[in-house]
Amino acid sequence: MKKNIKQSILLIALTVIGSIELAQAQSTYKIQETKDINMKLSGTSTLHNWVMNAQNTTGVAQFGFKGDGDKQLTSLKSLTFSLIVTDLKSGEKGLDKNAYKALKSDQYKDIDYKLTSAIIKPGSGGKYLIKTKGNLTIAGVTKEVDMDVYAVVNKDGSITCTGSDKLNMTDYSVKPPKFMLGAMKTGDAITLNYTLLYKKA
């Protein structure tokens, strides 16, 4: 009798869990290559500020919604993005060359990010603030970073994510580049800004 009761409780629990998983529809999304996506590194130097842009970014994410066909975002199970260091361009060949050298692009070709946790705070008009933790890898060094990601669920079901992170190059064992025989020196602090478009795979 007790065995039958335990089996019934287990069956009910599994049914409830299954119902919850069905209600929380999960879908895999991939970054789309469009003119609207952008990854940007920016910083300062003794002469002028500098910016390097890249538009060839790859990555996947797993977003959860309230129900199948519903556009109410409820969870973010995973998210990654990756860019090739040499895809970053400033428009100044000398700056690019020294930046690639400082970022050890011959040994570590990519800058990578992988989400570890996320808390979603819904806004209005399909907009959300996602408080995230993740691992950012630059020049072979991985550090945990906290980022506020602003997500918008678009009319076509795609999701635009924007955000930024301030970091120090030396935290990633990157020596700030120098130019013109040391006359121009870049600052240690840099900012990573991004606009990424994820579309259902």
pLDDT value of position 4 = 53
Given a cut of 90, whether residue 15 has pLDDT beyond it is no
Nearest to 168 by CA among 107, 110, 102: 102
Q: What's the rounded mean pLDDT across residues 57-82?
A: 88
Given a cut of 90, whether residue 121 has pLDDT beyond it is yes
Q: Where are the domains of the chain?
A: 25-200
Higher-confidence residue of 23 and 41: namely 41
Q: What's the rounded mean pLDDT across residues 134-145?
A: 96
Which amino acid, one-letter code, is at 170?
A: T
Given a cut of 70, whether residue 170 has pLDDT beyond it is yes
pLDDT band at 180 (very low <50, low <70, confident <90, very high): low
Q: What's the rounded mean pLDDT across residues 99-109?
A: 94
Q: What's the rounded mean pLDDT across residues 32-59?
A: 86
In the DSSP assignment, the letter for residue 44 is E
pLDDT value of position 95 = 85
Given a cut of 60, whether residue 3 has pLDDT beyond it is no
Topology at the third CATH level for domain 25-200:
Lipocalin (2.40.128)
Contact 99, 74 (CB under 8 A): no
Beta strands in 101-200 (DSSP E): 110-122, 127-138, 141-153, 159-168, 178-179, 184-200
Given a cut of 90, whether residue 184 has pLDDT beyond it is no
Rounded to 5 degrees, what are φ and ψ at 106? Answer: -70, -25
